Amino acid sequence: MDTRTAFAMGRANRGQEQRVFDWVKAAKLIVEREPDVASAGLSGDWEYTGGEIWANGLPVPREDTYTYLASTWATPELDIDGEVLPCFVMAGDTSWDESTYWPPEALALVTRES
């Protein structure tokens, strides 16, 4: 999606509740599937919002990737070894936002099982 279209979508959905990436769901899927690589991004805008979050059996450090994972119009997604799945909660149901990256409750799930 080009930048102009993305801004128009954001403007059209101003005031709507955001969808935020569901880190706990992602962690549970990572533990269950043991992927080589997992990435997160927004549907239709991966080029500008997506990045690896899991590689080589470990969470990718924040400084080694880029993600922007909240939107009023795009769906946060998890790409797990090439399978892309919706992966979000509504902002009102969590304290997470677009800047959240591997919150403690999600890290606990992947480190306990690894």
Q: Mind listing the pLDDT tens digit for each residue in 23-77?
A: 999 999 999 999 999 999 999 999 999 999 999 999 999 999 999 999 999 999 9
Mean pLDDT of the chain: 90
**What is the domain partition of the chain in residue ranges?**
15-113
- Would you call 35 helix, strand, or coil by DSSP? coil
In whole angstroms, give the CA distance from residue 51 to residue 39: 5
pLDDT confidence band for 114 (50 / 70 / 90): very low
Among the ranges given (15-19, 63-67, 91-95, 102-106), the one the predictor scored with the smallest mean pLDDT: 15-19
Query: Are 88 and 22 within 8 A, CB to CB?
Result: yes
